[in-house]
Amino acid sequence: MAPESVDLTVRTLGDCRIESPLAPLLAETESTEHYVDENDRVLFDDTVNMVAARKAKLDALPGFEPGGPRRKIFFQPSKTRVGIVTCGGLCPGLNDVIRGLVLELTSHYGVTKIYGFRNGYQGFIAKYGHPPIDLDAEAVSGVNEYGGTILGTSRGSQDPYEIVDCLESMSINVLFVIGGDGSMRGALTIADVVKERGLKIAVIGVPKTIDNDIPYIDQSFGFQTAFSKATESLRSAHVEARAVPNGVGLVQVMGRHSGFIACYAALANNDADYVLIPEVPFQLDGDDGFLAHLRRRVRERGHAVVVAAEGAGQEYLESGEPGQVDQSGNRKLKDIGLYLRRRIADDFAEHGMETSLKYIDPSYAIRSVPANPYDSVYCIRLAHAAVHAAMAGRTAMVVGRWRGRFVHVPIALAISKRNQVDPAGDLWMSVLETTGQPRRFA
């Protein structure tokens, strides 16, 4: 259910009084199963029981503001100046989003001044010496065919007051922030400073994380590409494992706190025998532990494939120094893949079983590739929704898709928790059905 303490209302900079260039496209639109009118809402709940549990009247049910073009807009396009920045780790689709933003702004709204801020939030701070670059249709031509980001990126926060100083000095009206959880926290702080100063600058987030751990959106862009690439590693691990007696293929995939890549890759490949994720603790030792179960599986079938998310089993590893975090503020993880490789090899040896174990870690190969066709479509639609929201004067929000509909989500809600695999949900149930592993190793 929607958290009662968080308002789903999106901030606005003021009333929209300017006729939108896209108004003619909306002349005959209305809410249907394929479109949500701007005056409608997208309900948070999607089952009868969830709605009934609220005991609220229909017009009091919580719902998101729908995404899409508006009939009236806030900014005069010919006078609007736009900034775009990419922050945090790489993710498939970054260039697709940049290209989508630029083409929508120039082709449909007639915005002519668009600046790309280089190397994340550092690009706003003078001491780093990263001058912004001009972006237009020619500058972004073909960039969607490449991984990474043409603007560069960096981790870590910067002084929001200095960032807003830069936006003011360049007369920026709209800032698009493409990034993950930490980047969205930074974007909210920037929006708060803008509000504090009484400025009319829209701050719009396009959330990205291949871990798919941002809540209140169906999926984040890049995730489909990520688990598709991970599937190739699972296929290789399976080929290696079945080619030798008692073969074991071990694949570590990205997923610090959320095991979505591991789950989806295992389902897509259908060759994994075990999936280990952060959300489901597992016991290694004992007759009912993971190692014993793995030995029995290999003895019965001749081989096995194990998929582990990088955040799984951290309780078995030596803890880092207190407060040891990376530049984004995330706790540094130990390498569960290498630990499992050693424990599996030692366990087989202790029980007199020969084994050939192949370990594959495709992490950086996954995040640095271009977006696949599905993600490319998703990225350009997110870019369109972000531009529509910004030109309509929305701010301190991210665009995403909820229950299949494009919506506006307040940044405060998008950073309020992590999206994780529910051990009691249907996704994990499908994983258990596919792998045949027990619900828990205990």
The residues annotated as belonging to the active site are: 211
- On whether 211 is known to bind a ligand per the annotation, the reply is yes
Tokens of residue 338, six digits: 């290498």
For residue 142, the tally of other CB atoms under 10 A from its CB is 9
Residues 236 and 283: their CA atoms lie apart, in Å, by 27
- On whether 320 is known to bind a ligand per the annotation, the reply is no
- On whether 254 is known to bind a ligand per the annotation, the reply is yes
- On whether 155 is known to bind a ligand per the annotation, the reply is yes
Angle at 53 between CA 52 and CA 58, to 5 degrees: 45
- On whether 393 is known to bind a ligand per the annotation, the reply is no
Residues 124 and 165: their CA atoms lie apart, in Å, by 9
According to DSSP, residue 317 is labeled S
Tokens of residue 96, six digits: 């697709």
- On whether 273 is known to bind a ligand per the annotation, the reply is no
- On whether 210 is known to bind a ligand per the annotation, the reply is yes
For residue 24, the tally of other CB atoms under 10 A from its CB is 10
- On whether 209 is known to bind a ligand per the annotation, the reply is yes
Residue whose structure tokens are 């508006």: 70
- On whether 364 is known to bind a ligand per the annotation, the reply is yes
Identify the CA nearest to 76 among candidates 116, 103, 25, 110: 110
Tokens of residue 91, six digits: 């993710």
Q: Contact, 41 vs 65, CB < 8 A?
A: yes
Residues 389 and 394: their CA atoms lie apart, in Å, by 5
Q: Contact, 389 vs 408, CB < 8 A?
A: yes
- On whether 310 is known to bind a ligand per the annotation, the reply is yes
- Alpha-carbon dihedral sign for residues 225, 227, 233, 239: negative
- On whether 180 is known to bind a ligand per the annotation, the reply is yes
- On whether 216 is known to bind a ligand per the annotation, the reply is no
Annotated binding site for ATP: 89, 155-156, 180-183
Annotated binding site: 89, 155-156, 180-183, 209-211, 254-256, 310, 364-367
Annotated binding site for Mg(2+): 181
